[in-house]
Structure 1
Amino acid sequence: MPAPSKRAVAAGETRRVLMEATAQIMLEEGYAAATSRRVAARAGVKAPLLHYHFPSMDDLYLAVFRRGTELNLERLRAALASDQPLQALWEQTFDPRGTRLLLEFMALANHRKEIRAELAAAGERYRDIQVTALTLVMRQHGLDTAAFPPDAMSVLIASIGRTLVLESTLGIAGGHASMLALVERYLRRFEMPPPAPDPRPPADEL
């Protein structure tokens, strides 16, 4: 397979810089501030070059979201394949940057049908992978999946993480430390390795 040309590499780099600039503006000031002029200025390019790569701002928003979705799916698979998948999953869900950006896309989706559809499809895809993996992880750790349905646990984990990030953004901190301590306590309980078997024979066999 031939190596990509310098022009293709440069085009890919320009697209990457534009997407990163868009995400950063959305995080700092909200999606409404991510106009073509603001994004182009942040990326250090002329506005016509932005429109060459992304004919409309919706095209740019979708590219940013899709790129983030693929990165998150890679992180999800890595988290669920780790030695402490529940801990890794919680840390990913509680990631302030990713959660804030998702909330901006959710706000944007209220005004853009195409982005709303993309957001819903990505969310269902992400949850399907998460629930399948959670089912396996919970069974391996002896958790009762009837009492704690994996799909409900997936929603619970996401809800707690997003609520804490959203409230922190607003300056609300009441109960956060207690909730974090509660989550960490249960994570340690469920993912604590079982004690090693005692090599000594039982007392009645001595």
Structure 2
Amino acid sequence: MGRPDSATFNALLDATETVMRNEGYAAATSRRIALEAGVKQQLVYYYFRTMDELLLATFKRRTERALAAMEENAGSAHPIQSIWANLRNRVDARLVFEFVALANHHAGIRAEVARYVTQSRRIEAAAIARQFARDGIDNGPIGPGAAAFVMYAVSLLLERETSTGITEGHDEVRALIDWMLGRLG
């Protein structure tokens, strides 16, 4: 097996993301990924025993990077606003939806999706709760977990619709969220 810190290993993960984003997970074959990475097809199997391993490694790399960004946002002076800005600017909805669709058929990715979402919600909810408490925010019925969920769902849906050419109402939704977050201070 090839080294996970090598340039070729990472090129294969990058290529997998590109193929899935642009052509869907069904197009993520060893031949297509090798072509995208600019390597011979045999190298795919030198680094990964199966395509399932490659797909899972690709998703795990994304989740680790995303969790690191969330931890950074959670530690900011205004974590709610930082979380929203991160979600608004960094969610790759096309790729997210491809991995979620793949999770229906791939137990390893399904487990990783569950682990990632659970961990990310806990990180975000804890940061939101800290800001609510620190700033004396009366959040009414909106608990920290609900706030984290709503921000993620809204950002994902906005990006997904935008990627399919739908933008009706998006500016108003963004303005509403920005207005609400602006009231938090």
Same fold at TM > 0.5:
yes
Contact 1:135–1:145 (CA under 8 A) maintained in structure 2 = no
For the residue of structure 1 that corresponds to 2:184, the secondary structure is helix
Deviations 1:128-163 (A, max 9, x none): 111111111121222224522111111111111111
Unpaired runs of 5+ in structure 1? 1-6, 192-206
Pick the aligned partner of 2:175 from 158, 181, 184. Answer: 181
**What is the aligned-residue identity percentage?**
37
Output the amino acid matched with 1:34. Answer: A
Which 4+ runs in 1 deviate beyond 6 A? none
Kindly report the root-mean-square deviation, in angstroms, between the aligned alpha carbons of the 2 structures. Answer: 1.8
What is the alpha-carbon distance in structure 2 between the residues aligned to residue 18 and residue 145 of structure 1?
45
Number of aligned residues:
184
| Cα pair distance change 1:126/1:28, threshold 3 Å | same
Change (3 A) 1:87 1:158: same
Aligned partners of 2:103 and 2:3: how far apart in 1? Answer: 31
In structure 2, the residue matched to 1:40 is 34
Provide the residue aligned with 1:196 in structure 2.
none
In the TM superposition, what is the alpha-carbon distance from 1:97 to its structure 2 partner?
4.9
Match of 1:135 in 2: 129
Q: Which runs of 5+ in 2 are unaligned?
A: none
Query: What is the alpha-carbon distance in structure 2 between the residues aligned to residue 96 and residue 39 of structure 1?
Result: 24
> How far is 1:94 from its partner?
2.1
Amino acid at match of 2:92: G
SS state at 2:136 partner: coil
TM-score, scaled relative to structure 2: 0.92
Structure 2 CA distance for aligned equivalents of residues 140 and 100 of structure 1: 36
Q: Which residue of 1 aligns with 2:85?
A: 91
8 A Cα contact 1:93 1:99, kept in partner: no
Q: Secondary structure at the match of 1:111?
A: coil
Moved more, 53-62 or 145-154: 145-154
TM-score between the two structures when normalised by the length of structure 1: 0.83
Matches within 5 A, 1:48-197: 48-95=42-89, 97-191=91-185
SS at match of 1:94: helix
